[in-house]
Amino acid sequence: MKTSKRAWFVRIAAVVLLIVIGYIMSIIGRGHTLYLDNKALDYEGQHYDAPYKIGIYVNGEQLTKLYENERSSTTCLGQTFTVTLEIMETKNGTEVTETYKIPVPKDMDNVIINIPGYLAGLPQEAYIDEFVPAVTDDVDDEVPDTSDDGVAIGDI
Amino acid sequence: MKEKFNNFNVRSFISANSVPILFIIICAVMIPLSGFSFSYLINEIMTRLGRNSFLILSLLIPIMAGMGLNFGMTLGAMAGQIALILVADWQIWGIPGLVLAAIISIPLSVLLGLLCGNILNRAKGREMITSYFISYFMNGVYQLVVLFMMGPIIPIVHNTLKLPRGYGIRNTVSLLQMRQSVDNALAVYVGGVKIPVLTLVLIALACLFIVWFRRTKLGQDMRAVGQDMNVARDAGINVDRTRIISIVISTVFAGFGMIIYLQNMGNFSTYSAHTNVGMFCIAALLVGGASVEKASIGNVFLGVILFHTMFVVAPSAGTKITGDSMIGEYFRVFVSYGVITVALVMYEAKKRKENRTLGRQLAIEQAAEEKGETA
């Protein structure tokens, strides 16, 4: 059976479409674990103080309140982290609320964002760092059980 | 309509629907014994309807093409799992992760489907047992890929996925960041029952595809091949190609179905999640009243409801009756395998009966012809 030119065109177009959709998904679905720090920062000989308190709101819900030298974590899909910060510079001071769009590097899984550094308008390498979890020697899973006893099928 | 009603025969109806009727009785007895509330049961059934229906729908097309119950759907499940492992390693989360996994599973499923279809064409008339053993064979290949090739050959970056020795995938793969992302999208709650609308929409699309496909030229060809391969060949249909396409479609659907199934679960056992998939899907379809040679979309949904109701209530009912929950667990395993065995025996018995009737008819015709010649 001979395949017509039109059929080949449709097939190639379908494959290209799937590749394009796959690529878009890999961009918009790239997940990051973000660690938000409210810590003082030294960069190029300059010192940047941490505010007294930062209220963090993600998707309209309060994630946490960070006091000086505290850290919180959240997750984010895609390369932009939209967050609303409620900043109080000094104790009993006035609160300033603003929404920020923080760019997140695609190649980093666990990202530490230093909020005082970001607010000071420093370059990305100053306020973003990669969090590398310590590798622990797990005792489980060394030899996976690939046999199937065929008795219980568990939950299906 | 009236004529249809007049022709209705209770005995033939019961004999044609013996398995669903038996399961309705089993469920009717077990539900009160289990002590579960109505809303809990409905919630469980709704969850399982969303979780399993797509997988079971993948069995319909090979039945249409006369290839029986496709135990080779496990191959599609393996493709889906490999795709999910890769997506989990690339840290693509949520619905985009599942869409990407579905896209990655397509070429893997197509390749495995082509392999399976070609082998089944060399084993015509023995498709079910052959596909069953292909799934065993491919399980070995899957283990080779996942246990030894993932890491050194197929790059796997994250230690949470890799075994401590540095290569191979851990026993359990967590899909926490994709867990129920399809089920929760557009979900609505009716009387405390969660209805996973998006999942049901996907299942409805699969049903529509099957209904549409049956009406296409290829679908008609498949039905012709399913009825009689020789007649179909004489009519100019490329029988082997048609059969291969049916297996490829089934395998691709099984890959999608496994992704939907696993996103609902939220994690999966790397080396055994796929092994029972074929068995319980086939059991559910048969419980829904399908046979080796005939199955409909209605059988899929009835099967999921009855089989999974039994599955949910059996351990609790077993505990109430015998004081041991394992009795219920053994019961549901016994029923799952038993219903497949009974269906296969019934199919074989029916075939033999048909052959006998045909033989007798031929003998009568021959005798009549001989009588005519002598006269």
Q: Helix or strand or coil: residue A65?
A: strand
The Cα–Cα gap between B256 and B1 comes to 40
Q: Model confidence over B13-68: pLDDT tens digits?
A: 887 788 888 889 888 988 998 889 989 999 999 999 999 999 999 999 999 999 99
The Cα–Cα gap between B374 and B74 comes to 60
Q: Model confidence over B281-338: pLDDT tens digits?
A: 998 999 898 888 899 999 999 999 998 998 888 888 888 888 877 777 787 777 777 7
What H or E segment, with its residue span, contains residue B24? helix B18-34
pLDDT for the residue numbered A155: 66
Say yes or no for a CB contact (<8 Å) between A144 and B241: no
Q: At what angle do helices B297-322 and B325-374 cross, to 10 degrees?
A: 130
From residue A72, alpha-carbon distances to A56, A62, A75, B128 in Å are: 9, 12, 11, 55
The Cα–Cα gap between B195 and B272 comes to 29
Q: Model confidence over B142-171: pLDDT tens digits?
A: 999 999 999 999 999 998 899 988 899 999
**Which residue of A lies nearest to B327 if distances are taken between CA atoms?**
A152
pLDDT tens-digit profile, chain A (156 residues): 567 889 999 999 999 999 999 999 999 999 999 999 999 999 988 999 999 999 999 988 889 999 999 999 999 999 999 999 999 988 888 889 999 999 999 889 999 999 999 999 999 999 999 988 776 655 555 556 655 544 455 666
The Cα–Cα gap between B318 and B310 comes to 11
What H or E segment, with its residue span, contains residue B209? helix B197-215
The Cα–Cα gap between B34 and B315 comes to 8
Q: Helix or strand or coil: residue A150?
A: coil
Query: What residues of chain A lie within 8 A of the CB of B175, using their CB?
Result: none
Interface probe for B, chosen from A11, A25, A142, A149 (most Cβ of B below 10 Å), is: A25
What value of ipTM does the predicted structure carry?
A: 0.83
Q: What are φ and ψ of residue B242, in 5° steps?
A: -60, -40
Q: Helix or strand or coil: residue B151?
A: coil
What pTM did the predictor assign?
A: 0.88
Pick from A18, A137, A138: CB nearest B106: A18
Residue A138 in contact with partner chain B when CB distance is under 8 A:
yes
Q: Which of B80, B56, B254 is nearest to B175 (CA)?
A: B80
Q: Can you tell me which residue has the tokens 């086939």?
A: B282
The Cα–Cα gap between B10 and A5 comes to 56
Say yes or no for a CB contact (<8 Å) between A26 and B90: yes
Q: What are φ and ψ of residue A111, in 5° steps?
A: -115, 130
> What are the structure tokens assigned to B306, written together?
């009855």
Say yes or no for a CB contact (<8 Å) between A153 and B279: yes
**Which residue of B lies nearest to A154 if distances are taken between CA atoms?**
B329
Shortest distance, CA A10 to any CA of chain B (angstroms) = 16
